[in-house]
């Protein structure tokens, strides 16, 4: 069981959405320090103020572009020197662009892959060696239920999440060879009811996940060292159906259930939020 009490917890994309809610829940569970990495100054300031008003003094926020290796290394050095080793790492930062593949610009393709895949790998790389040295640490990677399926208007997003799931599963196998209290958990939720997926139409039998539900599941997964979490529960059928049904029969089933039409009215966050600009800032807020 990974201990949350007195642990240093770092959450990427931690100043909004489920990252922010998850951070507060770790604080309630007694985390020693909550470290927020985010690229949005406004959200960082608002989150720090909210947590301060609630009496949480052990919160540290860094402006970090997780898609930029140098920025990740710079911020990681400051975290390690000023706060200490990260005990629990939540790779949560991610973006989505809901378009047919040919409608994407190269900038959109690059940013989705850089943030959703590169950001996860870069952030893990700068902290995992200290975890290995202390023979203790828990890495939680937010993949997606979409990493088991295919879908229209999600080709680039799915490419990134399939990559994260495959890497996360493999990383788990690697750290398990080292022994100690080292753990990797892969989280695979369906659509979550946040601004990131504004406008999506939930498929039949798969309601939109409320942030409270998925964040509770993540906290539980950390406590119990769960290997993989699929939410809602019906999502656990996806790998079975995908593996057993012939491709065209699976496609027909998905059409009937509304899976392949779920992104038809997707709007998401505004473009600036969906594809944040790279920043050349090295500002730290606490």
Which positions are annotated as active-site residues?
157
Q: Supply the DSSP symbol for 61.
A: E
CB burial readout 203-220, b (16+ within 10 A) else e = beebebbebebbbebbbe
Residues 6+ apart with CB under 8 A from 274: 95, 96, 97, 268
Bridge partners (DSSP) of residue 60 are 35
Name which of 130, 117, 18, 13 is nearest 69 in CA terms: 117
Q: Under 8 Å CB-to-CB from 78, ≥6 apart: which residues?
A: 62, 284
The CA–CA distances, whole Å, from 202 to 94, 142, 205, 262, 263 equal: 20, 20, 8, 6, 9
- Angle among Cα 167, 112, 268 to the nearest 5 degrees reads 120
> For residues 94 and 145, what is the distance between their CA atoms, to the nearest angstrom?
14
Nearest to 193 by CA among 271, 113, 268: 268
**Non-local CB neighbours of 213 within 8 Å, separated by 6+ positions:** 231, 232
Is the four-CA dihedral 121, 69, 222, 44 of positive or negative sign?
A: negative
Helix, strand, coil share of the chain (percent; to 5): 50, 15, 35
* Secondary structure (3-state) at 276: coil
């Amino acid at each position: 069981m990974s201990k949350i009490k007195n642990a240093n917890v770092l959450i990427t994309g931690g100043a909004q959405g489920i990252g922010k809610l998850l951070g507060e829940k770790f604080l309630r569970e007694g985390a020693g320090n909550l470290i927020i990495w985010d690229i949005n100054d406004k959200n960082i300031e608002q989150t720090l103020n909210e947590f301060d008003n609630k009496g949480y003094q052990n919160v540290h926020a860094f402006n970090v572009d997780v898609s930029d290796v140098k920025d990740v290394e710079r911020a990681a050095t400051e975290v390690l020197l000023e706060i200490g080793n990260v005990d629990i790492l939540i790779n949560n930062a991610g973006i989505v662009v809901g378009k047919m593949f040919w409608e994407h610009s190269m900038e959109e393709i690059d940013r989705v892959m850089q943030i959703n895949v590169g950001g996860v790998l870069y952030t893990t790389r700068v902290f995992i060696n200290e975890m290995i040295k202390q023979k203790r640490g828990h890495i939680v990677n937010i993949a997606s239920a979409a990493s088991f399926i295919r879908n229209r208007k999600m080709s680039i997003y799915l490419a990134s999440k399939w990559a994260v799931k495959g890497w996360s599963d493999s990383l788990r196998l690697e750290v398990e060879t080292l022994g100690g209290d080292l753990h990797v958990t892969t989280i695979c939720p369906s659509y979550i009811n946040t601004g990131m997926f504004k406008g999506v139409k939930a498929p039949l039998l798969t309601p939109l996940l409320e942030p409270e539900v998925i964040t509770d599941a993540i906290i539980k997964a950390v406590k119990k060292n769960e290997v993989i979490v699929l939410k809602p529960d019906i999502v656990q059928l996806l790998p079975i159906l995908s593996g057993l049904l012939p491709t065209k029969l699976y496609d027909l089933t998905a059409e009937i259930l509304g899976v392949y039409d779920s992104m038809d009215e997707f709007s998401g966050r505004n473009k600036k939020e969906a594809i944040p600009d790279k920043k050349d800032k090295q500002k730290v807020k606490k």
